[in-house]
Structure 1
Amino acid sequence: MFTFEIGGKAIAVTDASEDEAKRLLDGEEFRSDLARLESEDGPLWDGVAALTVRPATQAEIDEFNQVEDETEEFEDDDLEDEEDEEGESSVIVFLVPIVDSEEDDEN
């Protein structure tokens, strides 16, 4: 498993391979999502801070597994599926609470 960091802060964990995690992080769609989503402290990504991928720590893996187990019964905002080039999906679990500003605008 691999962790996505923004400016050195861990924000999400994925079960994707290292190559796939790097491809996701370099992808326009994922970067757009990171710029759109907000945490309690404001936007996740300002479009400038460094985006990196690193191996996940055991604590991050444990949190991923806990969220994945909880979401088997219901859908959770902290869990996203991303399809790779072959159509297989990898799961991304956010480690910070997220708020989708577009959803808030619709209410």
Structure 2
Amino acid sequence: MNAMRYAITASTALSFSKKGYKPLNYFDAFYLATLGGAKALSMDDKIGNFEVGKEFDALIVDLDVQNGPVDIFGEHTALELFQKFIFTGDDRNVTAVYVAGNKVK
């Protein structure tokens, strides 16, 4: 999570000094943390998304945990909730972790 946040922050800061530079958004950061990162490591045939035949690596997230960091007021779209998790979520929101199909938390 922090790596995505730091990438967005650094990219935004860079955009202030580089005319025409388009900073990363949360979609870009998530892509780089998942399939983009897998492609960079030539592992996109095994990991990076939920295609059939790939290893199942995933976080199960609950944004409505008691004393959690994500504030939810009223109705939100799935994309708005995803963005809130990227920017403010932490380990308190993660209810399960799967690595290569095995539940590790």
Give the TM-score range, shorter chain.
Answer: under 0.3
Point out the structure with the larger helix share.
2
Larger Rg: 2
Q: Which structure carries more relative contact order (alpha carbon 8 Å, separation 6+)?
A: 1
Point out the structure with the larger strand share.
1
TM-score relative to the length of structure 2 = 0.21
